[in-house]
Structure 1
């Protein structure tokens, strides 16, 4: 196969959770530019619809669905509607996420539970339901969005113990699913982004931007295109022999 053909997603179908904005929107756009049909889902149905219309301008077919990834019925609805419209599911990106900032000793239980439910349980529920389809069709690519915060303790300015813990759990889930589902030719990988300016990270970056930049060898935050290539690699045939990997996209922050 020609090298450039390895990166084509023409005719494939991808579900991107939390795809209406931020990193999810960047990934959805990358896949659409590579030829994939895109299903965008999140709790913000209006944002998904707006993104869906934008992606259609790239010449692909799209579907926008309102979905709470912590609700099993919503998850099943997304999978059913995707299969009805496109017939199969080739790629899943678990990008929906939540965070809460508070010192560890003051973290409210309800905040901890919300973050864990969205980031861990939501990722599991969506992977489980899509995984059943991929097992039946004997193949697929699952990409979980983790974070460099999941590798271990973080700088004191990052008072987000629930988020950090949840992303560590996503990394372990990624590796375990890769082991369990490899026999079905399902590749399960994760991307661990560094600091990208998104709605969720805005306040954190405002409080610690200089610390972040000082700890990033490339000396800048992630851009609105820095995840496109890594995500496309993991979604395409170019990564057919890659599974159980955590691809770090952080400007070198974890190289220290």
Structure 2
């Protein structure tokens, strides 16, 4: 199991104050990593740090917007001085704006691209500089099934996540020679506070997801922990430029008729 141990490693998780980011951060911490969490909301940060510390994890929090290059650079420098070098970067911070493409304001489209694609580029570039010097590092980009598929009303999100998939492959290509592995995780549909209103019995979308997913259920946040630990550990030292889809099998199938068992 030493292959999967993260003892002595520091993992920076953007947007690790709630939801899937918190679930992945917890998985990394259980494997032994020291956590550095970023966010933009003070109350969420306070609650997250309290949670991590109750669990017995060593965790630090920094409030900044990953799309602001100057501020991000200042904070990476501050983190390195105050805590130490970053061994693992999880680019999880992201937003979605659901709007039909024909009516979506251009500023909303730009904001989604900034957070979901430009932010990971900024953070990867900053952290990779110390990884290159050290000749070791792991970068995990949180992609999506929308890196592969389109869906109504998420054109900006799908464009950003499709771009993030290709950014993952290109960074892996450039930085592999420095012993840096850049991979992605593509979550399927997960049971979170955001999806709670549509996960009730009888809701059309709930029925659609259960019927569309071979596993016949929504993912639980902790289902992402294993993939995160694998991609952050020595077990994945020869895995590079890949996206692991944790989706219960959705992308493996065309689906089934609604009346089929």
TM-score for the superposition, normalised by structure 1: 0.93
CA contact (8 A) 2:215 2:248 kept: yes
CA positional deviation for 1:197: 2.7
Q: Is the 8 A contact 1:92 1:141 kept in 2?
A: yes
Aligned equivalent of 1:112: 109
Q: CA deviation at 1:146?
A: 0.4
Report how far residue 135 of structure 1 moved: 0.9
Determine the structure 2 residue equivalent to 1:94: 91
Deviation of 1:211 (Å): 1.5
The answer to whether structure 1 residue 160 and structure 2 residue 157 are counterparts is no
Q: Does residue 70 of structure 1 match 2:81? A: no
Gaps in structure 2 of 5+ consecutive residues = 254-261
Query: How far, CA to CA, are the matches of 2:129 and 2:194 in structure 1?
Result: 31
Structure 2 residue 140 is matched with structure 1 residue 146:
no
Q: State the secondary structure of the residue aligned to 2:38.
A: strand
* Alpha-carbon shift at residue 98 of structure 1 (Å): 0.6
Indicate conservation of the 8 Å contact 1:32/1:58, yes or no. Answer: no
Task: Work out whether 1:189 is the aligned partner of 2:189.
Answer: no
Q: Structure 1's 201 and 71: CA in aligned 2 closer, same or farther, altered over 3 A?
A: farther
Alpha-carbon contact 1:13-1:38 (below 8 Å) kept: yes
Q: How far off is 1:72 after superposition?
A: 1.0
1:210 Cα deviation (Å)? 1.6
Q: 1:88 to 1:207 in 2, by over 3 A?
A: farther
Contact 1:120 1:169 in 2 (8 A): yes
Which structure would you say has the larger Rg? 2
CA RMSD of aligned residues (A): 1.6
- Is residue 127 of structure 1 aligned with residue 124 of structure 2? yes
1:17 maps to what in 2?
A: 14
2:245 paired with 1:251: no
Q: 1:173 deviation in Å?
A: 0.2
Deviation at 1:48, TM superposition (A): 2.0
Aligned partners of 1:45 and 1:64 also within 8 Å: no
Aligned residue for 1:178? Answer: 172
Cα displacement (A) at 1:49: 2.7
Question: Shift in Å at residue 179 of structure 1?
Answer: 0.3
Q: How many residues get paired?
A: 250
Give yes or no for contact 2:192–2:221 (8 Å, CA) kept in 1: no
